[in-house]
Amino acid sequence: MLKKKFRILLVEDRKEQRKILCDFLISEGYDATGAENGETAIKAFLKGRFDLVILDSLLSGIELFNII
What is the chain's pLDDT, residue by residue, as a tens digit (68 residues)?
Answer: 446 789 999 999 999 999 999 999 999 999 999 999 988 999 999 998 999 999 987 776 665 555 55
pTM value? 0.81
In the chain the domains, ranked by start, together with CATH numbers, are 7-67 (3.40.50.2300)
Per-residue pLDDT, 3? 66
Contact between 65 and 21 (Cβ < 8 Å): no
Distance, CA of 58 to CA of 26 (rounded, Å) = 24
Distance, CA of 3 to CA of 23 (rounded, Å) = 20
- Pair type for strands 52-55 and 7-11: parallel
Per-residue pLDDT, 29? 94
Per-residue pLDDT, 24? 97
